[in-house]
Amino acid sequence: MKTVVYSLSEDVLQDEVCNLLLNMSGGLLPEYLSKEEVLLLKNRFGENWFESLGYSEPEYKKPGGSI
């Protein structure tokens, strides 16, 4: 059996957007994001971050109106 070691840079470990995406992949719904979290996603993925991340189905609610 081989042992595999992964090296993650501190930048990746400290990246707030990566942490946010991990939480969202674990079930955090966009409607529960804070204004700051929405701004992080807009900065990384653009104005259409909601659709870019695959939340195009009607059951997903955009967070807090127009942020």
| Domain extents in the chain | 10-52
Q: Mark 9-45 as b/e (b = at least 16 C-beta within 10 Å).
A: eeeeeeeeeeebbeebeeeeebeebeeebbebbeebe
pLDDT in tens, 23-36: 999 999 999 999 99
Q: CA end-to-end span of the chain, whole Å?
A: 51
Q: pLDDT by residue (tens digit) across 7-22?
A: 556 565 568 888 999 9
- Phi and psi dihedrals of 5, rounded to 5? -120, 130
Stated pTM of the model: 0.72
The C-alpha atoms of residue 5 and residue 48 are separated, in whole angstroms, by: 36
